[in-house]
């Protein structure tokens, strides 16, 4: 699709390819393999013709037209020239790490990334001789001091979940470039509608399509994006060989979700900001974490990097676990579930769920207190969300 279209146009149009039937909506290709005209064509496609930039389909572990439409649409939204779809967000992080790292390498990772990402580096990659140093997402000096001659990868999420800490992507990209490491940014919480890390110098972008790209809590999916070149070829090579592939059905569901991505992200952000402003004034709330609030310590940086503050709002209630659980258990509308990025608002107690597996000391150091509650704001009316939270907050 020609360059120059706005993001809302790309969301509904980019990447669409049509079969000989000229279907209007994207077709779902449920097939594990594809036919060849003859033996010569089969040989050609098997030996490299079907690469990331190759033409022709072979086998759905690594090439499928519906998955290709998803990849092309997301690439257009992120401003990337290459995209590899994966089975989930975690398999996108796995594929990237397997592509870029080898035994003896070192990773510097924000200490405020998704819990399974921490587990992946600490419990799995450590067994294969890759060491990881965790640093504050906001202190560039810590990243700089953690660098070693064998550092190959810098990994972050911005804003972080659940505390909304914002990393300076451009500054960390400059640091990565100087040290010969790749900067990888997990952009699941913002999506390209709110933030495009490649424009700030990131080398690769990760997505959990399970979250806002689908947007309706239906399927798992993921993606890795970047410029065409050796890094993306290596990610594709890992996927082709190891097979954590996105199913065509899931790709099709997510394609449908991406059509409404921009309007959902903007509407959910708008509701989140209004809810954050209301919580900030509530007498039983001691602190609100939302990058869109003027009171957020990195509000200016957030507004330089992001179009809005996003749809996640966290807050601390007076008291501790009992009071936080009371607020959660008093809701009737909001869903008590760990997922986020859904049109249905969800509520969680991070200290005993998403961050329940880490030690109390590490949890306290990370700022995950017993009184902390995370709300992933959906599309319900803000008045109804306020009323639902009011019961327990009173």
Ligand X SMILES: *Cc1c(COP(=O)(O)O)cnc(C)c1O
Note whether 246 binds ligand X by CB under 6 A: no
Tokens of 280: 């900030």
Q: Give 176 or 189: the residue with its C-beta nearer to ligand X.
A: 189
Note whether 208 binds ligand X by CB under 6 A: yes
User: Closest approach of Cβ 34 to ligand X, in Å?
Assistant: 27
User: Closest approach of Cβ 221 to ligand X, in Å?
Assistant: 7
Note whether 220 binds ligand X by CB under 6 A: yes
Angle at the Cα of 103 from the Cα atoms of 98 and 106, rounded to 5 degrees: 85
**One residue of 26, 78, 105, 157 binding ligand X per CB under 6 A:** 157
CA distances from residue 349 to 273, 309, 359, 375, 388 in whole angstroms, order as listed: 20, 21, 16, 9, 16
Alpha-carbon gap, residue 210 to 218, rounded angstroms: 8
Q: Give 88 or 151: the residue with its C-beta nearer to ligand X.
A: 88
Q: Give 88 or 195: the residue with its C-beta nearer to ligand X.
A: 88
136 φ/ψ angles, rounded to the nearest 5 degrees: -65, 135
User: Closest approach of Cβ 157 to ligand X, in Å?
Assistant: 5
User: Closest approach of Cβ 22 to ligand X, in Å?
Assistant: 33
User: Closest approach of Cβ 147 to ligand X, in Å?
Assistant: 24
The CB-nearest residue to ligand X is: 89
Number of amino acids touching ligand X (CB under 6 A): 14
Q: Give 106 or 374: the residue with its C-beta nearer to ligand X.
A: 374
Alpha-carbon gap, residue 174 to 182, rounded angstroms: 10
Q: Is 253 helix (H, G, I), strand (E, B) or coil?
A: helix
Note whether 211 binds ligand X by CB under 6 A: yes
Note whether 189 binds ligand X by CB under 6 A: yes
Tokens of 140: 């560039």
Note whether 90 binds ligand X by CB under 6 A: yes
Within residues 97-136, the interface with ligand X by CB under 6 A covers 114
Note whether 186 binds ligand X by CB under 6 A: yes
Q: What is the DSSP letter of 124?
A: I
Question: DSSP for 88-119?
Answer: SHHHHHHHHHHHH--TT-EEEEETTS-HHHHH
Beta strands, E only, the chain: 82-86, 106-110, 131-135, 151-157, 182-186, 204-208, 222-226, 285-289, 312-317, 335-336, 346-348, 372-376
- What residue ranges bind ligand X (CB under 6 A)? 88-90, 114, 157, 161, 186, 188-189, 208, 210-211, 220, 222
């Amino acid at each position: 699709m020609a360059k120059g279209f706005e993001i809302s146009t790309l969301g509904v149009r980019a990447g669409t390819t049509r079969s000989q039937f000229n279907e209007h909506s994207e077709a779902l290709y449920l097939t594990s393999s594809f036919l060849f005209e003859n033996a010569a064509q089969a040989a050609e496609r098997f030996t490299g013709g079907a690469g990331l930039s190759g033409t022709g389909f072979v086998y759905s572990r690594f090439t499928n037209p519906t998955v290709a439409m998803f990849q092309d649409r997301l690439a257009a939204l992120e401003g990337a020239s290459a995209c590899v779809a994966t089975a989930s967000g975690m398999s996108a992080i796995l594929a990237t790490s397997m592509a870029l790292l080898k035994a003896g390498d070192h990773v510097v990772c924000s200490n405020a990334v998704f819990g399974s990402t921490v587990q992946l580096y600490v419990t799995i990659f450590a067994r294969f001789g890759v060491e990881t140093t965790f640093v504050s997402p906001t202190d560039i000096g810590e990243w700089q001091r953690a660098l070693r001659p064998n550092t190959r990868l810098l990994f972050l999420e911005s804003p972080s979940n659940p505390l909304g800490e914002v990393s300076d992507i451009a500054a960390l990209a400059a640091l990565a470039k100087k040290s010969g490491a790749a900067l990888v940014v997990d952009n699941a919480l913002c999506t390209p509608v709110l933030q495009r890390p490649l424009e700030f110098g990131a080398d690769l972008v990760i997505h959990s399509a399970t979250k806002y790209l689908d947007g309706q809590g239906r399927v798992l999916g993921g993606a890795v994006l970047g410029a065409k070149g050796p890094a993306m070829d290596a990610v594709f090579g890992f996927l082709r060989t190891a097979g954590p592939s996105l199913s065509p059905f899931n790709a099709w569901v997510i394609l449908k979700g991406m059509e409404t991505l921009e309007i959902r992200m903007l509407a959910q952000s708008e509701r989140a900001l209004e809810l954050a402003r209301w919580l900030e004034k509530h007498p039983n709330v001691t602190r609100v974490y939302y990058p869109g609030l003027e009171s957020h310590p990195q509000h200016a940086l957030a507004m330089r990097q992001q179009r809005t503050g996003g749809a996640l709002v966290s807050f601390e209630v007076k008291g501790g676990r009992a009071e936080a659980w009371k607020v959660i258990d008093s809701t009737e509308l909001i869903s008590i579930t760990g997922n986020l990025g859904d049109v249905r608002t969800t509520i969680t107690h991070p200290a005993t769920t998403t961050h329940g597996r880490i030690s109390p000391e590490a949890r306290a150091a990370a700022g995950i207190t017993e009184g902390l509650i995370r709300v992933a704001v959906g599309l319900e009316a803000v008045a109804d969300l306020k009323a639902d939270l009011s019961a327990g907050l009173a």
